[in-house]
Amino acid sequence: MSLKIEKTPEQWKALLSPLEYRVLRESGTEAPFTGEYTDTTAAGIYRCRACGTELFRSDHKFESHCGWPSFYTAAAEDRVVYLEDRSLPGRARVEVRCAACDSHLGHVFEGEGYQTPTDQRFCINSVSLTFEPDGSATHGAPSES
């Protein structure tokens, strides 16, 4: 993974919409079944909306009927970081963040019985992502200017 991307809250607010900022920078959650990519089935790459890092691929996406895009693995393990999340009383979860810019993406769950190679469900906010259909995708994160 390349250098960490660091910006001030003011810089992030200038780049992101209020909803994007709330989810990506303040660990919020978009409402279920409202996200742009919940039902997307096209082939391509999902990138971090904040920094452009490739995070997930369409061939790892599956329909979980949970209301958010679901993936069974990240594009590469060095693209995401995992943090313990105890924000819900009595329920420990694993938060998923972008390794490059520390933006909140969603959570990962295990052992739910989905027929996937990893038995994991990365439950990711659509607003945390951008999508590049196959044929238009470039490799790597955009350069910082």
Q: Which residues are catalytic?
A: 123
Distance CA 127, CA 29 (A): 9
Q: Which residues, listed in sequence order, are joined to residue 110 by a DSSP beta bridge?
A: 120
Residue 18's H or E segment, with its range, is: helix 18-26
Q: How far apart are CA 85 and CA 91, in angstroms?
A: 9
Helix, strand, coil percentages in the chain from 3-state DSSP, rounded to 5: 15, 30, 50
Half-sphere exposure of 121 (CA within 13 A, CB side): 19
Strands 44-48 and 54-57: antiparallel
With beta carbons less than 8 A apart as the criterion, state whether 112 and 121 touch.
yes
